[in-house]
Structure 1
């Protein structure tokens, strides 16, 4: 309002000093304002639902994996875990192993369920971790990279309550506003080691991987194992112990899984890409019956083209070889072995004096491929 009053005062002062010309300009100024008001009134303003749809945010279904609008464009750089079908088999195996091992660990009825597997940026995951929580940084030795295992507050107090002999049928007591004690951290560390041992067993049929606990953190900033923009696989596991329980979230950056990416692309265990044993056997059988031309080279000489063009009938070429010289056997341009020339019945024959050249074997195999 103050700006509009100042503009009007300045316009009136300028009109007073410039006479009729200023009045004409003032009339155009007013006409422009009226036209602008009509234009603004004719524009259509989006409501909140249309804005949410354009941006790709749907508050009614937060867990939906479908993304639309601008949000879909932003998340298009992420690799979907469905492109690694073997991961789902590995994590299903992990759930079964954890159910048994945690029952033995807690001496209680434990049910482990797999909530979902999704792709997420590492920075977005760190910002979404509900605190307080314990973040376990572990190292995959054979893969030469790290992973993250997050245990939420509900599961921490439930495990402590179960391991220290809490009564069944009562919810675990939560004390907010204080850091975790040494006893709580040690008990959670033991549970994390059990889970990592199960993860090692889950990956065992695919590839041997040893997961070793590196450290425990309570601040997500100190658990940075990848760049914020890097993509990662997030696995959410639900652990229920009658009326107690909580969540465990396992995060593996794609950089960690890159060395075994070809194995994770398999549709089933033991799948071989581009290789058929039946076809290999058939090809080997046909190769044994294949006719191949072998040449016996007595000697080689380099002669100028002018001399070759001047050759006449009756000219003699002297070879730098004797009757005892070794003769080279070739298949095309590939040297195979050497032998001595002789006679068998009414034919000239070559007796091999050396084994097949290893370089020749590699050259033949390369040509066959």
Structure 2
């Protein structure tokens, strides 16, 4: 037999079950009207935060990660710096061909702004990090050579056969021969980089040291902004990437020059237009006035001049005449006559005060 208390317990259990069914029954709760709340899956959460694996290769972040990066890294366009890197690509194409005696193609992938700490954490290992110093600017830069380019340079310089992939033995330190050959290539690249900056601001980039651990290549604070240029070097079916990183602190001495706009490839100068303008100036028509003499008077007396008023000058027929172009005196000479025309024979040039 069941008592009143058992009936009350059954009724309470039924009420709790009805309330659970009204909340949606999925364990996550629901709205007041019984509608089930939508739950984001992992892919949607990664896309919202900007950590989507599929978009990591493109280099552009989105979502909350893009907002954070835009607040921490203020990238300013440096038009002159783009011209410098274009000159560097052309020079490296020639110098690396002479260095390797092979057909070398150098291309500039992109120029971006990045935090120094984020870049060090993103370097794919194994790699060689070359630290160099800008002597005149008294600061440092970083040149990173990836493993594909290292093995390709070693293979080309030591006479490897074309059409065969370079042998890669991962998990071992680089040998002395590999480090020496890569260091020679870095010297060639730094020489071209100095020549690329030379029309803008003479600077000498000196090789400092070669590191294989990014922890020992810290040349700036992790939060400092830097300019990163990614270069692609192809030698027929071999090649790799070369990345050049210049902190903003290194470029600060020439920041005003790098911010200037430019025309052509001569850093604001166009020799063709300069020569054309200089040649055309020689054929410009100018007006020359021959001044016999001048006198000064009071404006009241000048206003009282009438027809027949005589002005007395102190010049004589032997006095020198001044030739002027506008208000600029240019020559002095004697006045005479040639045929039926009045002529002036130039005796001296007027010296500019």
User: TM-score, structure 1 length as denominator?
Assistant: 0.62
- How far is 1:27 from its partner? 9.2
- 2:127 maps to 1:145: no
Aligned position for 2:236: 242
Q: Give the match for residue 88 of structure 2.
A: 94
Partner of 1:233: 227
- Write out per-residue CA displacement over residues 127-171 of structure 1, whole angstroms, 9 at most, x where no aligned residue: 111111110011111111111101111111111111112222322
The verdict on how the C-alpha distance between 1:47 and 1:243 changes in structure 2, with shifts beyond 3 A counting, is: same
Structure 1 residue 61, shift from structure 2 partner: 3.6
1:175 to 160, 169, 178: 169
Offset at 1:37? 5.2
1:108 matched to which residue of 2?
102
Is it true that 1:84 corresponds to 2:97 in the alignment?
no
1:47 aligned to which of 38, 41, 47: 41
How many angstroms apart in 2 are the aligned matches of 1:133 and 1:65?
20
Matched residue pairs, number? 253
8 A Cα contact 2:55 2:61, kept in partner: no
The alpha carbon displacement at 1:80 in A equals 2.4
1:1-369 matches, within 5 Å, as: 39-40=29-30, 42-64=36-58, 66-77=60-71, 78-81=73-76, 83-268=77-262, 269-270=267-268
Return the alpha-carbon distance in structure 1 between the equivalents of residues 12 and 187 of structure 2. 81
Give, in whole Å, the separation in 1 of the partners of 2:245 and 2:144: 8
RMSD of the alignment, in Å?
2.7
* Residues 246, 66 of structure 1: alpha-carbon distance in 2 compared, 3 angstrom cutoff: closer
Q: Give the distance between the partners of 1:22 and 1:266, measured in 2 at CA.
A: 84
TM-score of the aligned structures, taking structure 2 as reference length: 0.65
Q: Distance in 1 between matches of 2:61 and 2:239?
A: 31
Inter-partner Cα distance in structure 2 for 1:89 and 1:28: 77
- 2: distance between equivalents of 1:65 and 1:168? 32
Hey, what's the Cα distance between the residues in 2 that align with 1:129 and 1:49? 26
1:125 aligned counterpart, secondary structure = helix
Q: Structure 1 residues 35, 162: CA separation in 2 closer, same or farther (over 3 Å shift)? A: same
- Partners of 1:93 and 1:153 lie apart in 2 by 25
Aligned pair in 2 of structure 1 residues 209, 24: CA closer, same or farther (>3 Å)?
Answer: farther
Q: In the superposition, relative to structure 1, how do residues 209 and 23 fare at CA in structure 2: closer, same or farther (>3 Å)?
A: farther
| Change in CA separation of 1:146 and 1:22 when aligned onto 2, cut-off 3 Å | farther
Distance 1:68 1:191, change over 3 A: same
Displacement after TM superposition at 1:23 (Å) = 11
Measure how far apart 1:60 and its partner are: 3.5
- Matched-pair contact (CA < 8 Å) for 2:88–2:192: yes
Q: Is 169-178 or 188-197 further displaced after alignment?
A: 169-178
Task: Give me the whole-angstrom Cα distance separating, in 2, the residues matched to 1:266 and 1:63.
Answer: 32
Give the C-alpha shift of residue 35 in structure 1: 6.2
Cα deviation, residue 64, structure 1: 3.4
Distance 1:22 1:226, change over 3 A: farther
